Amino acid sequence: MTTVTSRTFSGRRFSSADLVEIKEVLDSCSGLSRTELAKTICELLEWTRPSGTLKSRECLEFLEQIDSEGIIRLPDRRQTRPFGSTTRIQPAKDEESIVLAGSVEQFDPVRLEQVGDRTGRDLWRGMVERHHYLGYKVPFGASLSYFIRVSRPTSLIVGCMQFSSPAWRMEDRDQWIGWDDERRGIHLQRLVSNSRFLILPGVRVQNLASAALAEASRILPGDWEMRYGVRPVLLETLVDGARFSGTCYRAANWLEVGMTSGRGRMDRANELTGMAPKKVFLMPLAKDFRQQLGV
C-alpha cells in the first residue's frame, strides 16, 4: 500500500498517526461493513458535527478515496445502496393529477413541511425521482428535505426542496465571499446548498417558486441549527443555464455571482473535469454573514 504523511479532506487534516490508526482499525475489524468502519473511525478520531453526530458519510467518502489511491484497503462492498447512488422508486402517486394555475395569492400562504417519517421520505424521493431532471440521489453529508404546500382552497403538496452540505470549493463563490483556503475550511459548515428544487409539472402558479424560496430562507436556519447544531448564514445553489434562467432565485433576492468551473462539487485538487459549468447563486441569511464566515 502507498505510504503518505498526511491528507486533508472536507476541511479536516488527517496526520500520519491518524492514517496509521485507520489502518489498524481496518486490520482489527475486518468483519465490519464499509459503513460500520466509517462510524467506528469517526468515533475513534472524534470526527463529528457541532451537534455531536458522527460525520460518517464524509468519512466513508474519505476512506473510499484513499482506498482508490492505494493508501488503505477496504473490504469489498456489500449489496447495499451507496451514498450518492441513484434509487429505484416505484412509479405511482397522485401528483400526476395535480393541476393548478393562477397567481400565488390565490393559494397562499406557501408553507414548507419538513419530511420526517418513512412514508414521507418515500413520497418525497418518488416525486423527485419522477419529476426532477437529476432524479433522486442520496445527498452528501448533512441534509434536510421539505414538501412545498399551498394552503388554499385546501392544503396540497405541490413540490419538493432539499438542502444539503455545500460544495467544498467554488472559485467564484469563494472570491465573492472573500475566502482563502484556510477560512473556507474553518467556516464551510455555515453554508448550505439548495441541492433539489421541484415544482410539480401540473402546477403553473405565478411566483410560487420564489415564495417557496423566501419561506425556506425564513425557516431553514432554525431547522438546520436544531438538527446539526450550527446556524447557516449563507445559502448556495447551482443552476443549469442550458435548462433554466434562475428567474425564481432572482425574484427571491438570491444573487448570481458567477459560474462553476465544471470540475464537480468535491474537487479539492483542481483535477476533475467533465461537469457542465453552472450558474452560482447565493442568498445571505444574516447581515454580518461575511464576519461570521471569518472575513
Name the β-bridge partners of 13: 8
Domain ends where: 68, 83, 117?
Answer: 68
* Beta-sheet pairing, 279-284 with 234-239: antiparallel
The answer to whether residues 22 and 43 touch, using CB atoms and an 8 Å cutoff, is no
Nearest to 127 by CA among 155, 86, 94: 94
Is 38 domain-assigned? yes
Q: What's the distance, CA 147 to chain centroid?
A: 16
What CATH number has the domain bearing residue 180?
Answer: 3.40.630.30
- Clarify whether residues 46 and 166 are in a common domain: no
Looking at residue 240, what is its pLDDT?
94
* 112 shares a domain with 170: yes
Name 119's Cβ contacts closer than 8 Å, sequence gap at least 6. none
The predicted pLDDT at position 276 comes to 79
Q: Please give the grid coordinates belonging to residue 58.
A: 464524509
pLDDT at site 90: 42
What domain count does the chain have? 2
Together in a domain, 58 and 135: no
| Alpha carbon distances (Å) from 83 to 58, 61, 74, 139, 142 | 10, 9, 16, 7, 12
Angstrom distance (rounded) from CA 274 to CA 259: 15
The pLDDT value given to residue 87:
46
Last residue of a domain, one of 53, 68, 83: 68
Q: What pLDDT is stored for residue 94 in this prediction?
A: 65
Asked if the structure places residue 29 within a domain, the reply is yes
Q: Could you tell me if residue 77 is inside a domain?
A: no
**pLDDT of amino acid 98:** 84
197 beta partners: 161
* Residue 75 is assigned to a structural domain of this protein: no
Collapsed DSSP state (helix, strand, coil) of residue 283: strand
Contact by Cβ (8 Å): 293, 183: yes
What pLDDT, on the 0 to 100 scale, is given for residue 26? 83
Residues 130 and 263 in one domain: yes
The per-residue pLDDT string of the chain (295 residues; one tens digit each, 9 = 90 and over) reads 666 678 888 888 898 888 888 888 887 676 678 888 888 888 788 888 887 788 888 899 999 998 888 888 888 887 555 545 544 444 445 666 788 999 999 999 999 999 988 889 989 999 999 999 999 887 767 889 999 999 998 999 999 999 998 888 899 999 999 999 889 988 998 999 999 999 999 999 999 999 999 999 999 999 999 988 899 999 999 999 999 999 999 999 999 999 997 755 444 444 444 567 899 999 999 999 999 999 9
Q: Coil, strand, or helix at residue 173?
A: helix
Q: Are residues 139 and 46 in the same domain?
A: no
Instruction: Report the distance separating Cα 208 and Cα 111, nearest Å.
Output: 11
Half-sphere exposure of residue 13, counting CA atoms within 13 Å on the CB side? Answer: 8
Q: Quote the pLDDT of residue 267.
A: 47
Residue 269 domain boundaries? 94-292
